Amino acid sequence: MGSLAAADEPLPPLRYPPARRDGDIVDDYHGVLVPDPYRWMEDLESDEVKEFVRAQAAVSDAVLATCDHRGRLRGQLTALLDHPRHRAPFKRAGSYFYFHNPGLLPHAALYVQHGLGGEPQVLLDPTTLSDDATVSLSMVGVSDDAEHLAYGTSASGSDWVTIRVMRVRDRRLLPDALSWVKFSRVAWTRDGEGFFYSRFPAPKDDDGASDSGIRTDVNLNHEVYYHLLGTEQSDDVLCWKDPEHPKYIYTPEVTEDGKYVLLSVAETSEPVNKLYYCDLSALPHRLLGTNEMLPFVKLVDEFEAYYGVVANDGTQFTILTNKDAPRYKLSRVDVDDPRSWTDVLPEDDKAVLESACAVHGDKLLVNYLSDVKYVLQMRSLVTGELLHDIPIDIGSVNGISGRRADSEVFVEFASFLTPGIIYRCDLSSGVPVMNIYREISVPGFDRTEFEAKQVFYPSKDGTKIPMFVVSRKGIHLDGSHPALLFGYGGFGMSVTPQFSAARVVLMRNLGFVACIANIRGGGEYGEGWHKAGSLANKQNCFDDFVAAGEFLVVAGYTSPSRLCVEGGSNGGLLVAACINQRPDLFGCALAHVGVMDMLRFHKFTIGRAWTCDFGCSENEEEFQWLIKYSPLHNVRRPWEKCAAGDHHRRQYPATMLLTADHDDRVVPSHTLKFLATMQHELCRTVERSPQTNPIVARIDRKSGHGCGRSTQKIIDEAADRYAFAAKMMGVSWID
């Protein structure tokens, strides 16, 4: 665990490394000249960028060395994570497959057991795939006959995936290897002889190593292929491409009856898609012997709404959609008569229809989100009528695993104070009963010591925003507690109650109050809530988050000097924009893998898909939205705005920016350019700067946007960032 630094150890002198500023790079955006002096940081492989990263790491290491709770945090996190964890099983041909980590293994392994009472066996352990646990499993697909497993591996957290195939019965690895796969799934045909998947064309400099390092070039010309087991990737059948629309992303899926392959077509991250289908039963055997693409029928060929197929009975398709229903509904169409749309389950007045799973023949297990709380119901697939309410605690349904061919369904549940329960619901008796199949128990965690509640607070424009507040029981609201405020607010993604070992340690050993604000831009109340925090309305997200901080101060939970804000990705943008706009409100900021350059994000990897939420600087009106809040372009010296004699209180909070060298979702240059800008503007060019709070970066190696990290990497990063927050806000350890 390492020796602990003294509690009063001072910060080292903060000498930020110089970063070259190129004054020649000035972009003209619709008549507005915008300098970009750190454009060179976009070349992540350059020696100059590598040297800048090394120099910044030395600064952050020196600061972290003085953070006296770092070792204790690492020890407590390790102890709390050392317990068995399971995910819900899925069934194929009488065999059950599930992920399980017995404790502190770097990654959960995929297990198989034959029958519910069968002996579990390790099918694939990702820990064996690399010496340093930096290769992870990113997707799996088991054939309907349970004979073969196709699995995708990712190196160093990259979005690039390599698909391989294993024979289940003897764990024999087949020679199949598929490269340049990204944003795909494995969709087996019913005969088990092969599967559909999506990939990008290999780049011109293809050396066969898609995951060897970071690539920032824009991803274009997605294609769908069919791979026949035992053949070379070069022999795969091209099923669909559309060179006229190079930005389209394709997701193939085979219906449970095996009759159709579906193709969902997206262009951005917005919840809208086109929907195509192809009748596999009308095709030649094995999809071979033709050089023509599959004859997909375009059921929906406009980007007007979201369409997700839930089930089909022959040509009758039941579809989850937000067409004229921002809180979603279930509709049905006969694909032989594409004008025959009817509603099966109309939109609810208040709750959002999160998902629907067809199970046990003609039943539907539907999952609603009502005021950020889940509601489960069993309904008729035929009529949509309510058959049974299925009571669950306040928390999150993280997965539903079931098929129409089976009489059982598994439901995965967690909450702030429930580490995890997997329910098995037997549907054969008529009345569904939720029995606990597996329950995660965390030694040393006593849920009765804590409480979780939901509050509603007004935002700047009066909109009521929900927020969860989790803390030790019986705290006094005297403004003395450190608080951690988390938010996301984008892309229609809902932030729902989840268990977090790190949050438990913060509450138990550092006295934190943990708060999760369900700000606009998310999907907590459907598409209306999402759109109220996107495009021209993006400022609402920042106003909502700032209002959450103000509420916590006024209500007596905390004070500005003890309020830490945290968010990742779009949430990293959120944190960065809010400390630009209200630096006085926060004592510490932790911004993970944030989108910081709102004028150029669309030029890298899949960033172009985010224009649905942000807009694009190439459009004059949208540029005017973006330039007002882009973190990179709005760093200001707060002391220049304040009254005389008030300088000591007007600086940016202590800030840690987190990124990783293999993040090919939000490329690291976002964080590097923002870091250099903050240090230059607030510190390096100001004699005796009032900015005494540190501005540092934690740049992880052989990691990506967050997925696929080993248990140890997760522990180390959490210990570092929360030890930094505790040090900066003067928080004492509680044994």
Query: What does the pLDDT look like over 280-308, one tens digit per residue?
Result: 998 876 665 566 899 999 999 999 999 99
- Looking at residues 353-376, what average pLDDT do you find? 96
688 in the Ramachandran plot: left (φ > 0), alpha (ψ -120 to 50) or beta? left
pLDDT surpassing 50 at residue 5: no
- Residue among 617, 705, 710, 716 flagged as catalytic: 705
Higher pLDDT, 2 or 339: 339
Q: Is residue 714 very low, low, confident or very high in pLDDT (cuts 50, 70, 90)?
A: very high
Q: Annotated catalytic, 663?
A: yes
Cα 670 from Cα 677, distance rounded (Å): 11
- Return d(Cα 232, Cα 226) in angstroms, integer: 11
Q: What is the amino acid identity at position 481?
A: H
β-pair type (274-279, 297-300): antiparallel
User: pLDDT grade, residue 2 (50/70/90)?
Assistant: very low
Q: ∠261-406-388 over CA atoms, to 5°?
A: 105
Answer left, alpha or beta for residue 573, where phi above 0 means left and psi between -120 and 50 means alpha.
alpha
Per the prediction, the chain carries an average pLDDT of 94
Q: What percent of the chain clears pLDDT 70, i.e. is strictly above it?
A: 96
Band the pLDDT of 641: cuts 50, 70, 90. confident
pLDDT at 205 over 80: no
Q: Which two tokens stand for residue 144?
A: 């309907």
Q: 98: which 2 tokens? A: 């599930």
* Average pLDDT estimate for 348-376: 97
- Taking a C-beta distance cutoff of 8 angstroms, is the pair 88, 96 a contact? no
Q: Report pLDDT for 6.
A: 36
Residue 1 has pLDDT above 80, yes or no: no
Amino acid 185: pLDDT: 95
Q: Is 569 a catalytic residue?
A: yes
Q: Span 228-250, mean pLDDT?
A: 96
pTM of the model: 0.94
Instruction: Provide the pLDDT for residue 683.
Output: 94
Q: Which of 569, 617, 669, 703 is the catalytic position? A: 569
Q: Collapse the DSSP code of 428 into the 3-class scheme (helix H, G, I; strand E, B; otherwise coil) and give the result.
A: coil
- From 211, 663, 716, 720, active-site residue: 663
- The predicted-structure confidence for 450-496, as pLDDT tens digits, reads as follows 999 999 999 999 999 999 999 999 999 999 999 999 999 999 999 99
- Residue type present at position 180: W
- Give me the sign of the Cα torsion angle 537, 542, 545, 551: negative
Counting Cα atoms < 13 Å in the Cβ hemisphere of 653 gives 34
In this structure, what DSSP letter does residue 571 have?
H
Own/partner pairs, 4-10, CB within 8 angstroms, 24+ separation: 4/68, 4/69, 4/70, 4/71, 4/72, 5/65, 5/66, 5/67, 5/68, 5/70, 6/68, 7/68, 7/732, 9/66, 9/68, 10/66
Q: Are 627 and 633 in contact, with CB atoms under 8 Å apart? A: yes
Which tens digit of pLDDT belongs to each residue from 79-89? 999 999 999 99
Task: Identify whether 648 is a catalytic site residue.
Answer: no
Contact 26, 37 (CB under 8 A): no
* Euclidean distance between the first and the last CA atom of the chain, given in angstroms as a whole number: 17
